[in-house]
Amino acid sequence: MNVVLLRIAARNLMRQRKRTMLLAGAIAFGIMIVTIINGFAGSFVKNISDNFSYLMGGHVFVSGSEYTPSGKRISIIRDDSVIMQALEDSGQKWVSLQKTSQTIATLIFEGKSMQQTLTGIDLSHSGMIKERLALVDGNWDNISWPNAIIISQSIAKKLNVLPGDVLVAQLQTITGQNNVGEFRVAAITIDSSFVGSMMTYVQLEYLNSLIGLGKNEYMSLGIMLERLEKSGPFANALYTSMKGMGLNLFDRSTKKEDGSMTPFQAMLLEQKTEQWTGTKYRLYTIDDVLAQAQQIVVALDTGSTVVLIVLFAIVMIGISNTFRMAMYERIREIGTMRAIGVQRNEIRSMFLYEALLLALAGAIAGIILALIAMGLLTFISFDPLSPVFLILKRGHFSFYVPPLRAIGNILLIAVLTLVAVYAPANAAAKLPPAEALRTVK
């Protein structure tokens, strides 16, 4: 690299400060927009995954399915001792396990009713419940009631219930028979989020008795890990371990050849169409469930790249014209330089250095502006009951720009600017010195 040429290029940029500021500003604006989109996409999946982990009570899940003698498919894990053994044998670590049964019920209280998904867990021994839920009414001692129900503030308001009130629940058993249960409101939780407001927790044992499951049976085992990122390797190890123990499992890797289905969707289809005897298990992670969210990220990233290219196509036309103008402004200077021995390629390099410095300055300014804008956006607080909450981090925007993505954007801008400036730089390099010196502006 010729340092003298670099210094001349920098000096040239400083000579026309206003013009340089405008060009760098245009580049900075483009980079800022694209970086914000990338930052949003970067945290999108993580936020959704975290929120869904909370909703579903785990990062990795095992559920069981079997057919009744009449051919109806039901969700059930009858005996989990082999799964527990497979967990131990997998050599993986987990934070907590949660056995869950779920059903949709109509909750009724004094003429008011609403449909709600009831999640049955062992309330008395669930650490997750006390850790994640904040009570607005009732107390934790009540959750030991055999028919305890924990509802959110918004549900309590809709049904007009208080702790101690008894709700009637109309629901169906796993085989589709109608049944009625009575739940006593043990506690009312603060609507900390859209997700939280949807959750209604009941005692697993009582719910099982209503939906036709045995005392020790349940529908799904949720495994909470230290970090979401560990769910993939954990699931692979557990899958191998369960297979090794002779359990009948749905294939985790099947995918439609045309790519129209994610492996998880293919697994669900397989579950619907296939017939088997005994219990067949489904092992999946939050990431498997949210594979389509990953497709949204790909779409956002692709969209941001298209925006970047379109914005820079416009900016590049401006830069190319500006450099052509600069070439004519400096035509006698170029002639003088050529006359004192500066070579053609050095004149070309000088212009290209100028363009490169302009691109880098604009890109770095753009990233700094994006960081400031993202910082300011995180201060905006959203209504916890808004569905947007699912893609937010505790009710606020959060951003994560992958470093390689940022570097890639800077390189893309540098290359595009060099391409735009190459033609005027080449024209300047090819100017005959005598002709350039004779030119009168």
Q: Given the rule CB under 8 A, which residues bind another protein?
A: 68, 70, 72, 106, 108, 111, 113, 168, 170, 172-173, 175-181, 210, 212
Distance CA(163)–CA(186), nearest Å, equals 5
Which uninterrupted H or E stretch holds 411?
Answer: helix 403-429
CA–CA–CA angle 429, 430, 432 (5° rounding): 110
Minimum separation from the CB atom of position 110 to another protein (A):
9
Do 359 and 414 touch, CB atoms closer than 8 A? yes
Nearer to another protein, 175 or 381 (CB): 175
Distance CA(63)–CA(24), nearest Å, equals 56
Nearer to another protein, 170 or 426 (CB): 170
In the block, tokens 């910082």 appear at 375
* Chain centroid to CA 26: 30
Determine if residue 45 is left, alpha or beta; phi over 0 gives left, psi from -120 to 50 gives alpha, anything else beta.
alpha
- H-type helices in 112-220, by residue range? 127-132, 153-159, 194-198, 204-211
Distance CA(51)–CA(221), nearest Å, equals 18
Minimum separation from the CB atom of position 176 to another protein (A):
6
Nearer to another protein, 106 or 386 (CB): 106
Nearer to another protein, 180 or 269 (CB): 180
Determine if residue 123 is left, alpha or beta; phi over 0 gives left, psi from -120 to 50 gives alpha, anything else beta.
alpha
Minimum separation from the CB atom of position 169 to another protein (A):
9
Nearer to another protein, 111 or 246 (CB): 111
Nearer to another protein, 107 or 327 (CB): 107
In the block, tokens 């929120």 appear at 51
Nearer to another protein, 182 or 251 (CB): 182
Minimum separation from the CB atom of position 97 to another protein (A):
29
Both tokens of 255, joined, read 């995918």
Type of residue at 355: A
Nearer to another protein, 204 or 211 (CB): 211
Minimum separation from the CB atom of position 272 to another protein (A):
10
Distance CA(406)–CA(399), nearest Å, equals 13
Secondary structure of residue 186 in the 3-state scheme: strand
Minimum separation from the CB atom of position 146 to another protein (A):
14
Query: Quick one: CA torsion of 112, 116, 122, 124, rounded to 10 degrees?
Result: -40
Minimum separation from the CB atom of position 171 to another protein (A):
9
Minimum separation from the CB atom of position 109 to another protein (A):
10
Do 98 and 264 touch, CB atoms closer than 8 A? no
Nearer to another protein, 17 or 272 (CB): 272
Minimum separation from the CB atom of position 314 to another protein (A):
40
Secondary structure of residue 381 in the 3-state scheme: strand
